[in-house]
Structure 1
Amino acid sequence: MIKLRGHHIFCLLGYRGMGYSAEYTANMTKIHDVLRERPDTLIQIIKGPDSLCAKFPTGQPYHCEDDGIYERDSVILHKLGLKVSDVLPWREVERRIRLHVVPDDIVVVCETCSWRSYGYCQEGVEDMLELRGLREVLHDK
């Protein structure tokens, strides 16, 4: 089971293989690939640092406990009709995104996110709405 906090649901939609460090990126790619290839994988919604935060690099400002991040988690969970401790398959998260999220939600909900300017998360929402699922992340071979 993969433990996810609210805002990382949106991060996974826009993930394109970039991250805070090689270890963080490898971990996020692994989780992203599992959800993309096996959408029946169970996730558990948690409060605070999750399976992605676990590989946040030392020596960088640790924002995983910032009040603004908790607020973003809360807004996204509310929008999706989820709560902390829920366990559900990723496929159900995708269904809720299609029902309750539009690309411009990223602009508002993720206003202060440093990754937002790339536009990938909005594209990820569009992919969900068009039933394309998570995009494949190209791996260096």
Structure 2
Amino acid sequence: MLGYRGMGYSKEFCENMTGVYETLRAHPETVIRVVLGPDDLCAAFPADQVAHCENRTVYDRDAEIVAKLGLQAGMELSWSAVCGKVAAQVTPGDIGHLCATCRWEPYGVCADGVRIIREGGELPAVKRAGE
């Protein structure tokens, strides 16, 4: 989520992702539930593409990130609390390892998102389609 900049798998996926991203930006006290594997974002994955949300690497990556943040699957906490944990426990350099199998990692946007959060900044707005 920290690296989302409007790129995605389809128009519908981006619309869903942008909606969630902007809600969390505007309302950081929104409570989220920690999950391993597919989540509400995966629900908008294009049906005409090979879904990867059920791949073992996704579960493994999620579990490693959750453990690094000191969280557990099923926990509920505010988005701002998650960002606080990221700021305290993740460095931009960690992303290359934690997200090595993610197709978006080479863009550097997630490492940049971590940097922004660590510096106390706000993630950039993403325009919704039609704006």
TM-score, normalising length: structure 2: 0.95
Paired letter, 2:85: R
Please tell me whether the aligned partners of residues 49 and 64 of structure 1 are also in contact (alpha carbons under 8 angstroms): yes
Q: Which moved more, 1:85-94 or 1:42-51?
A: 42-51
Specify every segment of 5 or more residues in structure 1 that has no aligned partner in the other structure, as ranges. Answer: 1-11
Q: Tell me, what secondary structure is at the counterpart of 2:127? A: coil
Partner of 2:13: 24
Q: Which runs of 4+ in 1 moved over 3 A?
A: none
Q: CA deviation digits over 1:91-111, x for unaligned, max 9?
A: 100100011000011101111
Please tell me whether the aligned partners of residues 94 and 133 of structure 1 are also in contact (alpha carbons under 8 angstroms): no
Q: Tell me, what secondary structure is at the counterpart of 1:13? A: coil
Partner of 2:119: 130
Q: State the Cα distance separating 1:59 from its structure 2 match.
A: 1.5
Specify every segment of 5 or more residues in structure 2 that has no aligned partner in the other structure, as ranges. Answer: none
Paired letter, 1:53: C
The whole-number CA distance in structure 1 between the counterparts of 2:120 and 2:28 is: 13
The whole-number CA distance in structure 2 between the counterparts of 1:104 and 1:122 is: 7
Matched, 1:42 2:31: yes
The whole-number CA distance in structure 2 between the counterparts of 1:107 and 1:48 is: 19
Q: How many residues align?
A: 130
Please tell me whether the aligned partners of residues 97 and 128 of structure 1 are also in contact (alpha carbons under 8 angstroms): yes
Task: Work out the percentage of aligned pairs sharing the same amino acid.
Answer: 44
Matched, 1:118 2:103: no
